[in-house]
Structure 1
């Protein structure tokens, strides 16, 4: 990620992103750049514009499943053990209530 960030910073500054420039950006913030990783980032971005690269990333993000399936399955599990959940909620209420003790956090 840091190698990509250095590449994008150089591109935004109007400087040609190459291995030496990427290493210079990273070393300016105290990061020792690994030659293999710099070469991998530069080779994967070779021949592409930043706009094309961002469009590819957006397409990949669009194919990532959302968490709505996980919420539905946890809701079904909670329905199956509703009695246990009610007991836990009652215990949490008892633990959270400091007003009954006669003092509060800022008294």
Structure 2
């Protein structure tokens, strides 16, 4: 993702065909070391394409990504989720009644 962002920054800066060295310079300016393998893979995949083509093809792929959400309230279910972990049950509130203290010991005793 860092490489893609660096590429987009270079394009926004006016360089319509940034090289791998340009991307390394952009990443290096913020203290990120560019991975040669990922840079080369990205440059191979982007070769011969304009940024407009890449964004247009990405929008088509993005349409198939589930985004969830939708607003509204949150429903709480007592059924465990399919995530593999045990679902935490809501804590049951227990009413603890305070013991009535006798007036004989005036609120304290010998063994407190």
Length-normalised TM-score, structure 1: 0.60
Q: Deviations 1:1-49 (Å, cap 9, x if unpaired)?
A: 0001111111111123101111000000000111111111111111111
User: What does residue 10 of structure 1 align with?
Assistant: 10
**Counterpart mapping for 1:1-107 below 5 A:** 1-15=1-15, 16-67=17-68, 78=77, 88=90, 91=93
What's the CA shift for 1:89? 8.9
**Alpha-carbon spacing, 1:89–1:61, altered in 2? closer, same or farther (3 Å):** farther
Length-normalised TM-score, structure 2: 0.58
In structure 2, stretches of 5+ residues that fail to align are 70-74, 80-89, 96-112
CA–CA separation in structure 1 for the residues paired with 2:62 and 2:29? 31
Alignment RMSD: 2.8
Aligned residues: 79
What's the CA shift for 1:78? 4.1
